[in-house]
Structure 1
């Protein structure tokens, strides 16, 4: 029996999104996910509101995933889970990625909606799916693998212990330093953001996860 009080910390408002990852994927996995989303979920696909469709065009997805020029129009999917907005991006063939706004997960009911969504994808692919902090694929907060009967949700204490063990915790000093740089030296902060944006976006293999 899940205790919402042990779970809600994952969705505390902190200005960041929560990412959902399926790692070590193939184009076949992408096709299965697109089929599932198109058949089971209410969604829109595209860029501009006047050109949105209610199905994901898998042929265009394949072109996006294979594109190396960076000049192709990139489309995303927006999935409506009973009012919870889930975005799906088509960045990498070997990593499927969604994101949600944690402020939309206010109760156990909404949490169950998200985990049901995750389970449906894990079951379809027979692969592990994780929910993580934004851009933190190595550190799952929720791990589901229906094929192997795994459904693990970290408590705050679990996460703190793992952070200490993995040395991934960002110290208060580092956070404070970032805030100071952003406030008083915006040009430096802007440069850091640009450097990050210009770096190559790579997938994270499941084997590199902390747990």
Structure 2
């Protein structure tokens, strides 16, 4: 059974309402949590690409990435849980895992199921909520993985145009 139904949540995947790259985050994270996510990507065999600026590099350990100088360019890790669905992890801070998704890629029940599965995998691994905020409102999540129910749930009322 799907965590969410497309007809119920499609407004949260409208790039005009949410911004095309809403933030997905795991608050209260640690360096160990970041490493767990990096390990999960490898274990699941998800296609990925780590880069610092324009340079593509092997994925380092989380503590090495997060210990970079303050003025260094922010590295990113592109992860494709399936072809056509991209998440871009940005190593801004060690206390919050932060990544973007492109809503233009998430426009069907099938893609929604992949996205929910991806959030579930991360949330289960970390035992923490994984929250999606509108691009312009990073403190009011609209949906996310709920640890207690072990599924992705709505956290806001659907928007009406």
User: Shorter chain as normaliser: what TM range?
Assistant: 0.7 to 0.9
Q: CA deviation at 1:58?
A: 2.6
Q: 1:54 to 1:38 in 2, by over 3 A?
A: farther
Larger Rg: 1
Rounded to whole Å, the distance in 1 between the matches of 2:103 and 2:71 is 31
Query: For residues 118-168 of structure 1, what are the alpha-carbon distances to aligned partners after superposition, in whole Å with 9 as ceiling and x for unaligned?
Result: 00010000011111111533211112123553532256xx256xxxxxxxx
Rounded to whole Å, the distance in 1 between the matches of 2:9 and 2:147 is 20
Partner of 1:144, secondary structure, is strand
Q: CA deviation at 1:8?
A: 0.8
Partner of 1:6, secondary structure, is helix
Rounded to whole Å, the distance in 2 between the matches of 1:147 and 1:34 is 24
Give yes or no for the alignment of 1:25 onto 2:26. no
Q: 1:145 to 1:113 in 2, by over 3 A?
A: same
The runs of at least 4 aligned residues of structure 1 exceeding 3 Å deviation read: 53-57, 146-151
Q: CA deviation at 1:95?
A: 0.8
CA contact (8 A) 1:123 1:147 kept: no
Give aligned pairs, total. Answer: 154
Rounded to whole Å, the distance in 2 between the matches of 1:159 and 1:107 is 17
Could you tell me which residue of structure 2 aligns to residue 136 of structure 1? 137
CA contact (8 A) 1:38 1:55 kept: no
What is the 5 A alignment of 1:1-211? 2-14=4-16, 15-40=19-44, 41-47=46-52, 51-53=55-57, 55-64=59-68, 67=69, 70-82=70-82, 83-149=84-150, 151-154=152-155, 158-159=157-158
Q: CA deviation at 1:38?
A: 2.9
Q: 1:159 to 1:6 in 2, by over 3 A?
A: closer
Rounded to whole Å, the distance in 1 between the matches of 2:24 and 2:47 is 18
Rounded to whole Å, the distance in 2 between the matches of 1:28 and 1:147 is 22
Question: TM-score with structure 2 length normalisation?
Answer: 0.82
CA contact (8 A) 2:8 2:158 kept: no
Question: TM-score with structure 1 length normalisation?
Answer: 0.64
Structure showing the higher strand proportion among its residues: 2
Structure showing the higher helix proportion among its residues: 1
